[in-house]
Amino acid sequence: MPVHERIAVGDATDCALLRMAEEIFPTADARPAYSTLLTIPFSTRRRWMLAVCVNQLDEDDGAPFMVVKGAPERLLPKCSTIQDAAGRSVPLDAARRRQIEQTQRRWAADHGCRVLLLCRRDFSPPPAEPNEKEDDEDDEDENPFVGIEDSPALLHAAATGCMHGLCVVGLVGMVDPPRPEIPSAVDTFRSAGIRVFMATGDYAPTAAFVARQCRIITADAVDGLEQVLEHAEGAVAAEKEEESNEKEDAVSQTCSVEQQQQKQLVDGNGGAAALATQEKEARLRSASASASGADSQRTLAGRSALVISGPEMRELQTEHWDVVA
């Protein structure tokens, strides 16, 4: 039976990766060789998952090793090498990092892919004798899992402490299109005057692509955190300008009142009602102009779509939310 027709039970992401792996190499032949000592499941806070495995059939190098998958923006800073086509680990220089970042953005923005970075970390095998150790051996390469294979707590502490010096194995892009009825449902909500928001843990360009598929985003322009901060600064400047104008208007009105009062001493009280009406009209015009100017500067609503990632949302302050609303 073809791989894509087989029934896979479990997490959708893991099932997709299993099908991909099956097309590359029969997993049934690889499973007996490996056992898993520890699994740290995926969480939205970490945005990666980890497993500590051991090759049971390799008598020469059966030391435990780590495999990790997760969001590239979280894992790439923890990587120092990359595996080339020949399976060798080479330094992960700035050019290769840029290539990975550009590939993630291109897959996300052009195809709506959810991109995962696959990594691993190997350690030096334990010495044959307890006291046998080369003088120039780096402590960073010593395997922290040797001798604690039966202690989940110690394995967990060791694994989380080794989340650096990872080796990039590759990038995987997965497409998860929305259900066909979603766009029409969103149109129905919008026609009823309901504003539709999408909350997701996806990479921002991926989220924007999916939101367009769902017709949650219909505007040509898509704003991000930079635009929110820019409009927040504009709103603060507008408020200061408004306060300054109000003070100037108050001073001007006070002078006008004094001049009119002096004039009334000569002309009598006939102009008092007209003066009050003029002052009221001036205040209304000033308030209307200030409100319309401030509103256009303080909010992004109705002007364009807005996409902000989870980490960016945690950085927003109260004045930023006033812009978003």
At 191-220, the pLDDT tens digits run 998 888 777 777 888 888 888 888 888 876
Q: Which residue has the higher pLDDT, 125 or 123?
A: 123
Higher-pLDDT residue of 246, 193 = 193
CA dist., res. 169 & res. 73, Å (int) = 15
Q: How confident is the model at residue 8 (pLDDT cuts 50, 70, 90)?
A: confident
pLDDT digits (tens, 9 = 90+) for 40-57: 999 888 899 999 998 887
121 pLDDT higher than 90: yes
The Cα 241–Cα 249 span in angstroms is 12
pLDDT for residue 136 is more than 60: no
User: What's the confidence (pLDDT) of residue 300?
Assistant: 45
139 pLDDT higher than 60 = no
Mean pLDDT, the chain, integer: 77
Residue range 270-279, pLDDT digits in tens: 454 454 555 5
Q: Is the pLDDT of residue 157 over 50?
A: yes
Find the radius of gyration of the CA atoms of the chain.
32
* Residue 301: per-residue pLDDT: 45
- pLDDT reported for residue 39: 94
- Note the pLDDT of residue 125: 64
- 85 confidence band (pLDDT: 50, 70, 90): confident
| pLDDT higher than threshold 90 for residue 100 | yes
List % helix, strand, coil for the chain (3-state, nearest 5): 50, 15, 35
**Amino acid 198: pLDDT:** 79
Does residue 236 carry a pLDDT above 70? no
Instruction: Determine what percent of the chain is predicted with pLDDT higher than 70.
Output: 61
Q: Which of 180, 210, 203, 176 is nearest to 73 (CA)?
A: 203
What is the reported pLDDT for 166?
Answer: 95
Please state which of the ranges 17-21, 67-71, 156-160, 244-248 shows the lowest mean pLDDT. Answer: 244-248
3 burial (CB, 10 Å; 0-12 / 13-18 / 19+) is middle
Say what the pTM is: 0.67
Measured in whole angstroms, the distance separating CA 164 from the mean position of its chain's CA atoms is: 21
pLDDT at 23 over 70: yes
Residue 250's pLDDT band, with cuts at 50, 70 and 90, is low
Given a cut of 50, whether residue 233 has pLDDT beyond it is: yes
Alpha carbons 112 and 134: distance in angstroms, whole number: 50
Please determine, for residue 188, whether its predicted confidence score (pLDDT) is greater than 50: yes
pLDDT tens-digit readout, 280-319: 555 555 555 544 444 444 444 444 566 766 666 666 677 6
Residue 33 has pLDDT above 80, yes or no: yes
